[in-house]
Amino acid sequence: MSISSATLPDLLAFEDPALEVRAPIDLPAAQAAIADFLRALGRDVNDPHLLDTPRRVAAAYAEMLTPRETNWTTFPNDEGYAGLVLVKDVPFHSLCQHHLLPFRGVAHVGYLPGDRLFGLSKLARGVELFARDLQVQERLTQQVADWLEETLSPRGVGVVLEAEHMCMSLRGVQVSGSLTRTSVFTGKLADAGPLRDQFLQ
């Protein structure tokens, strides 16, 4: 797939079985379901503060589950830059597929360029593209790495995510502040060595 002209639908059709094109969001149905949910929780949906809550919640989830349109600009690597390109500490948030609660943290995304370079912001936008979904952190990490591999054919890719899961902080085990770290390294970053150390520093 050529990415210089790739659009969001192209990228969402990217041949990862986990990334099939998402069905459209039915806002009125989501809104009705939230009203039912509130009633099931024993709440009075006619309370002035709750009256518009089903619409707000449906809109909020729709927003959190819809990636932004992005122009996936790439550039030729004319100078043959061979070093690590690493964008660190990119904040991201996503929604846990098991509890529909947020998890949020930072992503570190890097690659060893081949023939093409991404505009730097696209590395952060790539994280957001896959994070705006119902996710588990391992899959999100793998999808970002696969996307970089597939679209840039770099000599290596590294993706590290560190996140706090609200489903572990606010409920259940209730451990606030614990961080989950996931990582995927491919190509020349796959083996421990100076390049990997440079990424992890």
Ligand X SMILES: Nc1nc2c(ncn2[C@@H]2O[C@H](COP(=O)(O)OP(=O)(O)OP(=O)(O)O)[C@@H](O)[C@H]2O)c(=O)[nH]1
Sites of contact with Zn ion (CB under 5 A): 96, 98-99, 167
| Contact criterion met (CB below 8 Å) for 107 and 144 | yes
8-state DSSP, 19: G
Which 3 state secondary structure label does DSSP give 59? helix
Q: Which does 136 bind (CB under 5 to 8 A by kind): ligand X, Zn ion, none?
A: ligand X
Minimum CB–partner distance for residue 175 and Zn ion (Å): 13
* Residue 21 is a binding residue for ligand X (CB under 6 A): no
Restricted to residues 105-164, the positions that interact with ligand X (CB under 6 A) are 136-138
Q: Toward Zn ion, which CB reaches closer, 43 or 98?
A: 98
Q: How far is it, in rounded angstroms, from Cα 119 to Cα 125?
A: 10
Minimum CB–partner distance for residue 180 and ligand X (Å): 7
Q: How far is it, in rounded angstroms, from Cα 102 to Cα 152?
A: 30
Does 93 show up as a binding residue in the annotation? no
CA 52 centroid distance within chain:
29
Minimum CB–partner distance for residue 57 and Zn ion (Å): 18
Minimum CB–partner distance for residue 131 and Zn ion (Å): 14
Q: Which does 172 bind (CB under 5 to 8 A by kind): ligand X, Zn ion, none?
A: ligand X
**Whole-angstrom Cα Rg for the chain:** 19
Residue from 43, 56, 88, 98 binding ligand X (CB under 6 A): 98
* Residue 168 is a binding residue for ligand X (CB under 6 A): yes
Which 3 state secondary structure label does DSSP give 97? coil
Q: Toward Zn ion, which CB reaches closer, 167 or 190?
A: 167
Does 99 show up as a binding residue in the annotation? yes
| Angle at the Cα of 167 from the Cα atoms of 162 and 170, rounded to 5 degrees | 110
Other CB atoms within a 10 A radius of the CB of residue 117 amount to 20
Q: Which two tokens stand for residue 118?
A: 């991404």
Q: Which does 89 bind (CB under 5 to 8 A by kind): Zn ion, ligand X, none?
A: none
Residue closest to ligand X (Cβ)? 172
Query: How many C-alpha atoms does 45 have within 13 Å on its Cβ side?
Result: 16
| Angle at the Cα of 91 from the Cα atoms of 178 and 179, rounded to 5 degrees | 10
Q: Toward Zn ion, which CB reaches closer, 96 or 161?
A: 96
Residues annotated in a binding site for Zn(2+): 96, 99, 167
Q: Which residues of the shown chain bind ligand X in the complex (CB under 6 A)?
A: 96, 98, 136-138, 165, 167-168, 172-173
